[in-house]
Structure 1
Amino acid sequence: MDGTQALPPLRVEHADSLAWAERCELLVVGFGAAGASAAIEAAGHGLQVLAVDRFAGGGASALSGGVVYAGGGTPYQQQAGYADSSAAMHAYLRNEVGEAVSEATLRDFCERSCDQLAWLQRQGVQFEASVPPHKTSYPSDQYYLYYSGNEAVPAYAAQAAAAPRGHRAKGRGMSGAALFAALHNAALTAGVRLHGQCTVRRLVLDGRDRVLGVEAWQLPVGSRAARQHARLARWATAIHMYAPALAERLRVRLRRLEQQHAERRLIRAERGVLLSAGGFIFNRALVAQHAPHYLAGLPLGATGCDGSGIALGQSAGGVPTRMDKVSAWRFINPPLAWARGLIVNGQGRRYANEEVYGATLGHAMVEEQGGRAILILNKALVREALRQVGPGKVWQFQRLPVLLNLLFNAKRAASPAALAERLGLPAAALEASLAAYNRGARGEEADAFGKSPAMRADLSQGPWYALDLSFDSRLFPCPAITLGGLKVCERSGRVLDHAGEPITGLYSAGRNAVGIASNLYVSGLSLADCIYSGRRAAAHLATHAATVPLETA
């Protein structure tokens, strides 16, 4: 069996028809931010919780920037001197979230935001009120509160009062590791059991299509195969951003180890199974099926983001939806100088406000412009960019692409017409785009895309440079993540079938399910939704367990 696909459910007439190797009340499949949050919440309600993870836990959450989108007047916003309200947060997110969730769910998410941040603090996650002086895709270790989306962009700020809502967990480097470490420790302290290197291959259903548990396959603890598996998993993660083809070969070896050495375990989940195994960006066949125009992007996530959790839900009658929603991240800041240039399409026409959040720019690039994005700068901005990515000023992952592209991907010309010829663009269109941009930068007319005055630059003086930052760029790979998943009841997190009815005993959360972040991406929104949806599912299951025994549900 391919490790990314689920087997058809194992069907039995009654739970006592099988010899279960282990029992629990809640079984969590996939132990990232969503799974850990659910486990902690359920344990807090007195439930016996077992979590299984194909690796050691953490998933994409531990690899992330550790940013939690939160607002409504958090302590850190107040300390930094920013006023915010849940109404303002809701007004902003309404534009980003679209129809991914209902108005009631989004409002509930916003109104619970401060409480959710406080809950994370109680689990040991630390935050801080330091704000960077300039907009950035990800702040340095000096700063932990920032504008993580489009909040301060004029067109958005006109509709909702702007405030920084990106709360980065306190920790050195990429903060996802620090955030997950706190959740992991809190879960174990609460009595949650965790089985690593354990893959769920199929669900177990009874004669009434109720989920009774799972068939899992675990590598023997401490075995040579388990040690090899752990090494290969670490290597695949470490090299993926730099050598994705080699990383994929390591993943093939991982699956082979699992098929050859894992041992079967039947686990009874007496109250429910929560699927929280991530998205499907590493399942290239699924991406090709639902969003083929995103195949040229660099898959962003963990090895376990292969759609296996979605497939498990689907095998029991669940319905995947919004599977065409993929987020491409074309960040051009830092350096700030790049965002002061202009971006044109394959016809030489400008199509976006260059200061917008990278996922917003990436969406326009892929969905509306055939994946094309050509950044136009002049000599002054190139020099400014080099200064802004100097040693100690930005992260290495932010500096390296800038230097590589300025060295090896920059076309230079003494006139806009000559630059257009080098790029194969219509000269008249590029000259018109540049002239209009310059008039806006000088204040002679309004900027066509509402760019902030401070973010404009008069590019009248050459020489001019062009960087092809299109979606399929090899020197500036564009990361992409999937946003679709299983359709769930927004009040409980229960997986819904084709008739819109909940499947008894089956829940889903995080990127395994459709949620707050399943439309347009904003930094921190996915992690915030993981925590929100994981806790929501656990709270419902605990309440249900206390009042309605599963055997009669």
Structure 2
Amino acid sequence: MPLVWDSEADVVVVGFGGAGACAALEAARAGASVVAVDRFTGGGATAMSGGIVYAGGGTSVQRAAGVTDTVDEMLAYLRQEVGDVVSPGLLEEFCRSSASMVDWLAEAGVPFDSSVCPYKTSYPSNRYYLYYSGSENAWPFRSVATPAPRGHRVHGRGTSGRVMYAALASAAHDAGVHVVRQTTATKLIIEGGRVVGVECRTHRSRLHRFLHRYATKPGLYLPAFARRLYRGIAALEASKGRVVRIRARRGVILAAGGFVNNRDMVRANAPAFRGGLPLGTQGDDGSGIQLGTSAGGVTDRMSTMSAWRFLTPPSALIRGILVDRSGARFVDESSYGAAIGERLVLERGGRAWLLVDEAILRDARRQVRTETLWFQRLSAHYLLRVARVRGATVEEVAAKAGIDPEGLAATVEKYGDGEDAFGKHPDLVAPMTGPYALIDCSFGPRLGYPCPTLTLGGLKVDEGTGQVRGADGAGIPGLYAAGRNAVGICSNSYVSGLSLADCVFSGRRAGRFAAGEVSSEMI
């Protein structure tokens, strides 16, 4: 008996966040009819993100800001961050297309601004929208590439990912994309070795939308609360949902986010990162990746996670010394927060303290008002007032914090005495004088100073098309993946904006090629 389809389109996109919206928009502009399904109301992690797009090589925004940057300098820096997770050719293509990507986003209605942030920060205040979002000024990166600000923050107050998503969703709608919300893809339909459609369960009640809204925010900051709401969402879908089947005449694109909110998958793949603040919606449960593996797709880099242990803002704090239990330094404190977090979790057992003196504390307190947004202000006050111990001498403050006094004393004696052992910029290095404070920067589930985490691995895809690869290395007919459902540019090492940039890059790639694919029955 032939399968009954409830609807059909040339391309079906699973997940309508940043990557899904870009894939759908590109496929529609290529002439395909497109249906996008989203478990909730759209947006995914993109809509709740900071809206940072990592781009360079002389973008229109950089030029307007008077910033000099070249493709070669961007490529030299990213080679250090990206490693071998993608081929050299793909990384070069990403860098060379970076400026045109910003233009493509702007043409789709995504607003940018050329005001350059003058200080090091994890995320700029509402006065600035172009900044050094990675480790460009840290050692050894500045020795191989001329630093340039490449973090393009979408123009909007607060965290502006919602502005980026709204523009992309509107552009996709104008291009004819049909978005089916509150609809969960549960199964890929395969005929003759080819993915030909998606089976979904749809549940469009107000209660479903209500629970999702609060599971996203404030649920982002209260994971246990979000999980309780999510269980209610899952129960509604299981008991009240209606099964629908959508045929994909040309291809299915998986763009349903990572797996940071699937505790079993995190425990199995990256157990050291448990205890961080999951950065994503409850839809980032690995379901898109699991759909891909159910069709024969293989995964890679599943153990790679990013943990953000930012020391800024306020920017004065990067003049401090970050030490472990033995009192030894282990990183250039001006490094990007994910670089610090990775070494903290994987090499130092998650425990670290920042040593500062009274001059640094005084400057940091003064900067809180001007350098922070509300959520950063909470963390800054926590660090400067709650998570610290004080002492007149190095030995006294070390004893109070429970770290080795002799080790810390030796570290302090060497700090600022000639060339820095970790290559920290000379402008940020100076001898310290008492009294001292040690600020607890350890990894763990603290509400006052959370450590956001996200997953970076996913399905292996063909670099030219985004087609999901099977165990034999061949592409699975009719199946593509993008964003955090796929291994991509950011799957080795994360810097702010690199995931969203990869969502745009990989989403557009999958959309173009899925729209152009022709199945055997269409010939």
Confirm or deny a common fold (TM above 0.5): yes
Helix, strand or coil at the partner of 1:239:
coil
How far is 1:550 from its partner?
4.0
Paired letter, 1:494:
Q
**Could you tell me how far apart the structure 2 residues matched to 1:473 and 1:118 are?**
39
* Correspondence for 1:465: 437
Tell me which of 187, 195, 214 is aligned to 2:180.
195
* Correspondence for 2:71: 86
Tell me which of 207, 210, 216 is aligned to 2:194.
210
Helix, strand or coil at the partner of 1:17:
coil
* Correspondence for 1:485: 458
How far is 1:347 from its partner?
1.3
Tell me which of 425, 429, 445 is aligned to 1:452.
425
1:171 aligned to 2:156?
Answer: yes
Residues 315-354 of structure 1 mapped to structure 2, 5 A cutoff: 315-354=294-333
How far is 1:129 from its partner?
1.1
TM-superposition CA deviations, 1:515-552 (whole Å, max 9, x none): 0010100111100100100111111122333xxx3437
1:276 aligned to 2:244?
Answer: no
Contact 2:466/2:510 (8 A) holds in 1: yes
Instruction: Figure out how many residues of one structure are paired with residues of the other and give that number.
Output: 522
Paired letter, 1:324:
S
* Correspondence for 1:184: 169
Helix, strand or coil at the partner of 2:184:
strand
1:373 aligned to 2:358?
Answer: no
* Correspondence for 1:44: 29
Paired letter, 1:398:
Q
How far is 1:407 from its partner?
2.4
Paired letter, 1:328:
A
**Could you tell me how far apart the structure 2 residues matched to 1:292 and 1:194 are?**
36
Residues 88-167 of structure 1 mapped to structure 2, 5 A cutoff: 88-167=73-152
Residues 527-546 of structure 1 mapped to structure 2, 5 A cutoff: 527-545=500-518
**Could you tell me how far apart the structure 1 residues matched to 2:285 and 2:430 are?**
43
How far is 1:469 from its partner?
1.0
In structure 2, runs of 5+ residues without a counterpart are none
**Could you tell me how far apart the structure 1 residues matched to 2:371 and 2:464 are?**
44
Contact 2:138/2:332 (8 A) holds in 1: no
* Correspondence for 1:237: 216
Helix, strand or coil at the partner of 1:157:
helix
TM-score calculated relative to the size of structure 2:
0.98
Tell me which of 352, 365, 380 is aligned to 1:386.
365
Helix, strand or coil at the partner of 2:453:
strand
How far is 1:236 from its partner?
1.2
Paired letter, 2:285:
D
Paired letter, 1:211:
V
**Could you tell me how far apart the structure 2 residues matched to 1:430 and 1:393 are?**
30
Change (3 A) 1:154 1:169: same
* Correspondence for 1:71: 56
Paired letter, 2:343:
A
TM-superposition CA deviations, 1:360-411 (whole Å, max 9, x none): 1111111211112211112222222111112x54101111012123322211
1:551 aligned to 2:521?
Answer: yes
* Correspondence for 1:424: 402
Tell me which of 471, 475, 482 is aligned to 1:502.
475
Paired letter, 2:391:
A
Contact 1:86/1:111 (8 A) holds in 2: yes
1:219 aligned to 2:203?
Answer: yes
Tell me which of 223, 226, 229 is aligned to 1:250.
229
In structure 1, runs of 5+ residues without a counterpart are 1-15, 221-225
**Could you tell me how far apart the structure 1 residues matched to 2:166 and 2:522 are?**
38
Residues 6-17 of structure 1 mapped to structure 2, 5 A cutoff: 17=2
**Could you tell me how far apart the structure 1 residues matched to 2:336 and 2:23 are?**
30
TM-superposition CA deviations, 1:262-312 (whole Å, max 9, x none): 100011011110000000000010000011000011111111110000000
Instruction: Return 193-202 or 79-88, whichever deviates more.
Output: 79-88
Contact 2:251/2:517 (8 A) holds in 1: no
* Correspondence for 1:259: 238
Contact 1:205/1:213 (8 A) holds in 2: yes
Contact 1:271/1:550 (8 A) holds in 2: no
1:399 aligned to 2:377?
Answer: yes
TM-superposition CA deviations, 1:427-485 (whole Å, max 9, x none): 11010011111xx2xxx41111111122224312x121111111115232211000000
Contact 1:341/1:457 (8 A) holds in 2: no
* Correspondence for 1:9: none
TM-superposition CA deviations, 1:16-57 (whole Å, max 9, x none): 820100000100000011111111111111100000000111
* Correspondence for 2:283: 304
TM-score calculated relative to the size of structure 1:
0.92
* Correspondence for 1:408: 386
**Could you tell me how far apart the structure 2 residues matched to 1:19 and 1:327 are?**
43
**Could you tell me how far apart the structure 2 residues matched to 1:76 and 1:477 are?**
32
Helix, strand or coil at the partner of 1:20:
coil
How far is 1:154 from its partner?
4.5
Contact 1:35/1:276 (8 A) holds in 2: yes
Contact 1:505/1:550 (8 A) holds in 2: no
**Could you tell me how far apart the structure 2 residues matched to 1:40 and 1:354 are?**
41
1:522 aligned to 2:495?
Answer: yes
RMSD: 1.3
Paired letter, 1:116:
M
Sequence identity of aligned pairs in percent? 49
Helix, strand or coil at the partner of 2:396:
helix
Paired letter, 1:399:
R
**Could you tell me how far apart the structure 2 residues matched to 1:161 and 1:405 are?**
32
Contact 2:53/2:151 (8 A) holds in 1: yes
